[in-house]
Amino acid sequence: MYRFQDVARPAATAAKHFVGTSLRMASSICPGEYAAPSVETSVPGPKSKKLLADLSQIQQSGSVQLFADYNKSLGNYLVDIDGNVLLDVYTQISSMPLGYNHPDMLKVLDSDENKRAVVNRPALGVFPAADWPVKLRSTLMSVAPKGMDSLTTMMCGSCSNENAYKNMFMKYQRDKRGGTSDFTDLEKESCMINMPPGAPKLSILSFKGSFHGRTLGVLSTTHSKYVHKLDVPAFDWPIARFPEYKYPLHENLKENEQEDERCLVEVEELIEKWEKKGNPVAGIVVEPIQSEGGDNHASPYFFQKLQKIAKKYNAGYLIDEVQTGGGPTGKMWCHEHFDLETSPDIVTFSKKMQTGGYYLKNEFLPDLPYRVFNTWMGDPTKIVLLDAILKVIKRENLLSLVEKSGDVLMSGLRDLEAEFPALINSTRGRGTFITFDAADAKLRDDIVKRLLTKGVQSGGCGVVGIRMRPALIFQPHHAHMFIDRLRQVLAETE
């Protein structure tokens, strides 16, 4: 089997977590959904522009694209305040697993018990409710990656990665002490003034093109766009090359295999170089698909070998599933496509999982309280929503639907590549987590804007990528709708 076979297409099997249910009719998956997009004004329309002017007097709002009417948005359709009904293949940057106003999620708030969970938000690290352990077991732990028995809940993707890095540093130093956390007086004193040995020189290896968040520590491992990083001090940590494949994959097997090997050799060289600099690598962080950086893929072989390298140098192996987790690749966790020898050491999540956090192997847990801690440590109300989401995923067999809809998207996009080879290329993805490239950045931005005029909300990534991040309820007829409107845009370009 070619090592690149799985990169372009998902396997034709349902994910291990949710199997055995036949697909329901569209009305069951999303009752009452709009039949098609409808564009009444420009996007953004006059009402959105007026509100944008108001908001700009309060805060920096240059990133705002439109103002939504969340009372009217439904299923796969985002409705803006000007009445435009948009097929949303971007879904709040990949964070809406069941689309808008799903009845099962709305029903959750009918419960007085759940209302009290909203009103009485606890400091989970010290005062959790009596039902907290069972809620975690029935939700987050019910879909935990195989071999990962521990969990830390957090608020968002950035703080999940930020604290997961701390777990890797603490475990690395604990190993150096012989497995204990018996700190010396010098360590206690020196850490208070940010000096070694209490504040040791350690590093995290990351990859060019990666995105792991915008908070201070994780910014040193984010390398997707300069706007995220300018003016902010950064750590002296190693940055390895991430594979840059040639497409179509089946026509470039030898070149892509060589690319894997070049990148893996560089990883080892950098680890050894930073060891000699007195700044050893305590962990490796990698996205299963580099999302913000351009939807860059790597082969299962690359991730397998990377795990072996991490183990060789006693570095933690963290897979950042903030954007890929929760089902959009056809499996609950994208790294399940890679047939790793063992589970990663840490897997971070957020977005479709509603709350932030990370799974970790037991040996990466701190052995003292308050070492990874904040006031809220997550949000019980998000776990309530996640419970409803997971039940719908299972009941409607949505991961199988993701594969079917993804096949339609991939096939349609490759047909468009053949039809418009000068305009788009390099279609790639797993499930409905799909991207294609425009010929240049200007054309990419133009396609995204003109898709809006056809009633499609999409998004860019990297320099020339156009990414799709639809909800798990995105069906084959939605995929055909997207392909038809993209074809119109491309036909108007030539």
Q: Are 346 and 167 in contact (CB under 8 A)?
A: yes
| Residue 211: active-site member | yes
- Among 375, 391, 442, 484, the active-site one is 375
Instruction: Supply the pLDDT for residue 11.
Output: 36
List, as one string, the DSSP characters of 412-428: HHHHHHHH-TTTEEEEE
Of 354, 453, 395, 465, nearest to 39 (Cα)?
453
- Among 88, 320, 387, 407, the active-site one is 320
Which tens digit of pLDDT belongs to each residue from 395-427?
A: 999 999 999 999 999 999 999 999 999 999 999
Which tens digit of pLDDT belongs to each residue from 328-355?
A: 999 999 999 999 999 999 999 999 999 9
> Average pLDDT for residues 160-166, to the nearest whole number?
98
Ramachandran class of 133: left when φ > 0, alpha when ψ lies in -120 to 50, beta otherwise: alpha
Q: Are 362 and 78 in contact (CB under 8 A)?
A: no
Per 3-state DSSP, the chain is made up of helix, strand and coil in percentages (nearest 5) of 40, 15, 45
- Among 211, 303, 364, 420, the active-site one is 211
Helices (H), 177-319: 185-191, 226-229, 253-276, 300-312
pTM exceeds 0.85, yes or no: yes
Which tens digit of pLDDT belongs to each residue from 465-476?
A: 999 999 999 999
- The 10 Å CB-count burial string (b at 16+, else e) for 286-320 is bbbbbbbbbbbbbbbbbbebbbebbeebebbbbbb
3-state secondary structure of 254: helix
**Would the pLDDT of 22 be above 70?**
no
Q: Which residue is listed with tokens 């029935």? A: 138
Q: How many alpha carbons fall within 13 Å on the CB side of residue 455?
A: 21
pLDDT-derived band at 12 (thresholds 50, 70, 90) equals: very low
| Residue 320: active-site member | yes
Q: Are 100 and 78 in contact (CB under 8 A)?
A: yes
Q: How far is CA 492 from CA 362, 446, 450, 459, in A?
A: 56, 11, 10, 20
* Cis peptide leading into residue 37 (ω within 30°): no
> Average pLDDT for residues 84-105, to the nearest whole number?
97
pLDDT-derived band at 5 (thresholds 50, 70, 90) equals: low
3-state secondary structure of 400: helix
- Among 135, 351, 352, 361, the active-site one is 351
* CA 353 – CA 326 distance, rounded (Å): 6
